[in-house]
Structure 1
Amino acid sequence: MAVASFATLLAGAAQAAEQQHGLSGEKASFPPFDPTHFASNLFWLAITFAVLYWLMSTVALPRLGAILEERADTIGRDLDHATQMQGKAEEMAQAYEKALAEARKNAQGIAQTARETGAKASDAQRHATEAELAAKLAQAEATIAKTKTEAMTNVRGLGSDIAVAIVEKLTGQAPSASEASAAVDQALSRG
């Protein structure tokens, strides 16, 4: 039903258009290309162009210009701020490098001082130990010399007793103690 009424409506519109243009059997031309409408089309084109030109020049283009200028200002401010921040970052990096170099220098100084202090303490300990060992060595040498002297005295006495016993065993007569001591001294001085 709706389709039938729509088709009837279209047919009625087509007949009305034919009657209006007076082209009962001819085809109607496209209105913008119809020479009878050129004057009114040009008039409305000029009015529309003038209105659009006025709107663009007074409303749209100033707004676009302001937006572009604002963007350029914002970009310029951001670039200036970035340049300042880069300068600050470079200054901070230089300060950091300087502080790091000073810390390394201080650490090397502390390490050198510690080495020198350790070396001095080690040398002092070594000297003290050497002095202590030298004192003990001197004491030991004195003890050895004393023991050697005592042993030699005992060797003379023991040598004299042994010489007396040997001579008595071999000859049957015992020499005097002074003769035996003289013979032992003579034998010790050769040897």
Structure 2
Amino acid sequence: MTAALFVAGAAQAAPQPGAKAAFPPFDASTFAGQLFWLALTFGLLYWLMSTIALPRVGAILADRASTIARDLDNAAAMQAKAEETAQAYETALTEARKNAQSIAQAARDAGAKASDERRRVVEADLSARLEQAEAQIAATRTAAMTNVRDLGSDVAIAIVTKLTGQAPSATEANAAVDQALARG
């Protein structure tokens, strides 16, 4: 029956000599053929799209979505790793500061200890020199006092001789000088 419609439609679609032909899409005699080819073309395009084109597009979209998800996961992992590295860096930096402070304190303590030891050595050396100098001064003083006693006796004898004209004995002069030295 459909074939008869096509043949009839084709016979009627042929232009009559001298008649003005209608625009084919609006010609009612060609509607059946147009509907047939529309359904056939739509069905073929639907079948091609559903079996070939849309699965490929779907695969591309799925691949793209998985790539984006994988890249986001990688970025999150790298960010976590970067945060761990930054935390480790901060920890190491804090530890290094503590170590630097302890090293500096140890160096200060060692310097202070060495300085104290050097000061003790210098003080001991100066004390020894001071004692030696004091002993030398005491010895010089004793020698000088002995010389002063002898000199004092000689001067006392000379003065008494000059004043009285008589020279006292050395024992008397030494006793007078000893008495004067004891007082003063």
Do the aligned partners of residues 165 and 19 (structure 1) sit closer, same or farther apart at CA in structure 2, a change above 3 Å counting?
Answer: farther
Alignment correspondent of 1:83: 76
Alignment correspondent of 1:185: 178
Alignment correspondent of 2:120: 127
Alignment correspondent of 1:5: none
Are 1:148 and 2:145 an aligned pair?
A: no
- TM-score, normalised with respect to structure 1: 0.73
SS at match of 1:139: helix
Do the aligned partners of residues 163 and 36 (structure 1) sit closer, same or farther apart at CA in structure 2, a change above 3 Å counting?
Answer: same
Amino acid corresponding to residue 96 of structure 1 in structure 2: Y
Amino acid corresponding to residue 47 of structure 2 in structure 1: W
Which stretch shifts more, 165-174 or 127-136?
165-174
Are 1:111 and 2:108 an aligned pair?
A: no
Instruction: Report the Cα offset of residue 51 of structure 1.
Output: 2.3
SS at match of 1:45: helix
Which stretch shifts more, 171-180 or 130-139?
171-180
Amino acid corresponding to residue 129 of structure 2 in structure 1: K
Do the aligned partners of residues 182 and 21 (structure 1) sit closer, same or farther apart at CA in structure 2, a change above 3 Å counting?
Answer: farther
1:91-128 alpha-carbon deviations (Å, 9 max, x no partner): 33333333333333333333333332222222222222
Are 1:160 and 2:160 an aligned pair?
A: no
Amino acid corresponding to residue 148 of structure 1 in structure 2: R
1:36-85 alpha-carbon deviations (Å, 9 max, x no partner): 55444444333332222222222111111111111111112222222222
Alignment correspondent of 1:175: 168
Whole-Å Cα distance in 2 between the matches of residues 114 and 160 of structure 1?
67
Whole-Å Cα distance in 1 between the matches of residues 128 and 149 of structure 2?
31
Do the aligned partners of residues 178 and 48 (structure 1) sit closer, same or farther apart at CA in structure 2, a change above 3 Å counting?
Answer: same
Identity %: 70
Which stretch shifts more, 57-66 or 105-114?
105-114
Unaligned runs of 5+ in 2: 1-14
Whole-Å Cα distance in 1 between the matches of residues 17 and 112 of structure 2?
124
Whole-Å Cα distance in 2 between the matches of residues 43 and 57 of structure 1?
21
Alignment correspondent of 1:46: 39
- TM-score, normalised with respect to structure 2: 0.76
Alignment counterpart, residue 57 of structure 2, candidates 44, 64, 68:
64
Whole-Å Cα distance in 1 between the matches of residues 179 and 151 of structure 2?
15
SS at match of 1:95: helix
Provide the aligned length of Structure 1 versus Structure 2: 170
Instruction: Report the Cα offset of residue 146 of structure 1.
Output: 0.7
Amino acid corresponding to residue 92 of structure 1 in structure 2: T
Whole-Å Cα distance in 2 between the matches of residues 21 and 110 of structure 1?
116
